[in-house]
Amino acid sequence: MNKIVLASGNPGKLREFEHLLAPLGIEVVTQGQLGISEAEEPHHTFVENALAKARHVSRESGLPTLADDSGICVHALHGMPGVVSARYSGFPKSDERNNRALLEAMKNINDRRAHYYCVLVLMRSAGDPQPIIAEGEWHGEIGRTPSGEGGFGYDPLFWLPEFGKTAAELSHDEKHAISHRGKAMKVLLGKLNKA
């Protein structure tokens, strides 16, 4: 496998996956580069949405496809924004508006515990009966004000007490070593090596 289609149009995710897969010599292209539309994400779970995205893009491209469904889950909000993290504040999607909406939802809440969750699905073909599925979690808290210029999504609000900074203040290498996506990718690559 020397080429994988990423079932996403998110430039932040593309950068992360290019960085994670570069050592393996795997070229990553996005579904947008191939003119493939986004799949519907009607499901209530990350894994169902990731499977739907991977199957759609693999069917349209005829290539192995890597899909990611991830989001931030806030303990005091019963897991929200969860699967709607990217569109929490509506359409068009906006990280800045999503962050403002989350801060508004959390304004009178002292329990700031949260975690990022990621499910990766690798389908070797659209009909792959045994897709490789991996998951990862990254625990932290919701900060009270955004901080940092790096990352994307809720990274400026995702406070990491052990580092004394937000995810948006980490270097790329620091983030990939401990993030939900980095952890899920390590699991996926381990499974891929055994397949």
Residue 11 DSSP label: H
Cis link prior to 81 (omega < 30° from 0)? yes
The residue among 135, 193, 186 whose CA lies nearest residue 21 is 186
69 counts as catalytic? yes
Which conformational region is residue 85 in: left (phi greater than 0), alpha (psi within -120 to 50 degrees), or beta? alpha
Whole-angstrom distance, CA of residue 120 vs CA of residue 115: 16
Which conformational region is residue 7 in: left (phi greater than 0), alpha (psi within -120 to 50 degrees), or beta? beta
Place of tokens 């499901």: 43
Which of the residues 68, 69, 95, 155 is marked catalytic? Answer: 69
Q: Dihedral sign for Cα 33, 38, 44, 49, please.
A: negative
List the catalytic residues. 69
